Amino acid sequence: MQSYHIYLIRHGMTASNLEGRFVGKTDLPLCPEGIAGLASLMESGEYPNVGLVYTSPLLRCVQTAHLLYPQMDLITIPQLREFDFGDFENKSLDELKNDSRFLTFMEHKMKSPAPGGSEGMAQFESRVLEGFEVLLKDMMKKQIFSAAVVTHGGVIMTLLGGCGLPRTKPSYWSCQPGEGYGILLNLAVWSNAKSFEIGGKIPYRGEPEQEAQYHLVDPEYIRSLDQSMGGKDS
């Protein structure tokens, strides 16, 4: 059964990132430092060649995608936007440290929506997974087997922490602006276990890109799933 190479890339830096503010649904552009940072990453490393580019609809992601893949058309997926921080949007930790509502929100691990917000963590995770399914189905329909996804830090951590192998907490997969991770997804494994393997960091540095291979999922298990599903893409 077919495998897909998908590269999750965090958007470049915004002014609010520089100032350490909570930015989710707020639609901010890249700042000059963010644009320069992406240029530096492109000079010192290599972003993978892909057949499709997906992006969050927020401006910072769209701008990043245009800079990294200037010749590619972009496909926006609304479900891949960042978490909604409600009344805490665009405020710094210093501004919020004495706000009892914020302290309660963080103490409860963001399980309930922030005041003025639209979603708790469970709803966010469900939305992100829905968006990932949308892009995977689009890749299958178009028979394209590699794609870049320019999105947000919270989206990347949610996907890798929830579906990635090796299993570890989402915060382990935190990445800097313009960086991210490649994943290798086998349709049979995804259909049966909603799991994929996590590969190397993006952009590549030093050694040329190596074709990812399954090493955490038993190849015999993959073959057995392929056979049980008739060996056909679904």
| Number of C-beta neighbours around residue 78 at 10 A | 12
Closest-CA residue to 134 (of 152, 112, 117, 149) = 149
pLDDT at 225: 52
Mean pLDDT, range 161-182, rounded to an integer: 95
Establish whether 55 is an annotated binding residue. Answer: no
CA distance 181 to 156: 8
pTM flag (> 0.85) = yes
Instruction: Let me know if residue 72 belongs to a domain.
Output: yes
60 is annotated as contributing to ligand binding: yes
Note the pLDDT of residue 234. Answer: 34
Within a domain: 39: yes
CB burial class (10 A; 0-12, 13-18, 19+) of residue 82? buried
Closest CA to 157 of 175, 134, 144, 184: 175
Domain range spanning residue 62?
Answer: 3-228
Quick one: CA dihedral 63, 65, 66, 67, positive or negative? positive
Q: Is 90 annotated as a binding residue?
A: no
Domain of residue 81, CATH code: 3.40.50.1240
Residue 61 lies in a domain: yes
Within-domain flag for 62 = yes
pLDDT in tens, 94-125: 999 999 999 999 999 999 999 999 999 999 99
Distance of alpha carbon 117 from alpha carbon 120, whole angstroms: 8
Q: How many domains does the chain have?
A: 1
Residue 233, domain member (yes or no): no
Q: What is the pLDDT of residues 63-106, one digit of tens each?
A: 999 999 999 999 999 999 999 999 999 999 999 999 999 999 99
Q: Residue 39's pLDDT is what?
A: 98
Q: How far apart, in whole angstroms, are the C-alpha atoms of residue 47 and residue 221? A: 31
Best CA proximity match to 105, nearest among 24, 206, 12, 194: 24
Q: What angle do CA 195, 54, 76 make, to 5 degrees?
A: 120
Q: Comparing 213 with 127, which gets the higher pLDDT?
A: 127
Token pair listed for 80 = 């891949």
> Is 12 labelled as part of a ligand binding site?
yes
Determine whether the annotation assigns residue 65 to a binding site.
Answer: no
- 10 is annotated as contributing to ligand binding: yes
Task: Say whether 13 counts as a known binding-site residue.
Answer: yes
Residue 134's contacts (CB-CB under 8 Å, 6 or more residues apart) are 77, 79
- 14 annotated ligand-binding residue: yes
User: 234 in a domain, yes or no?
Assistant: no
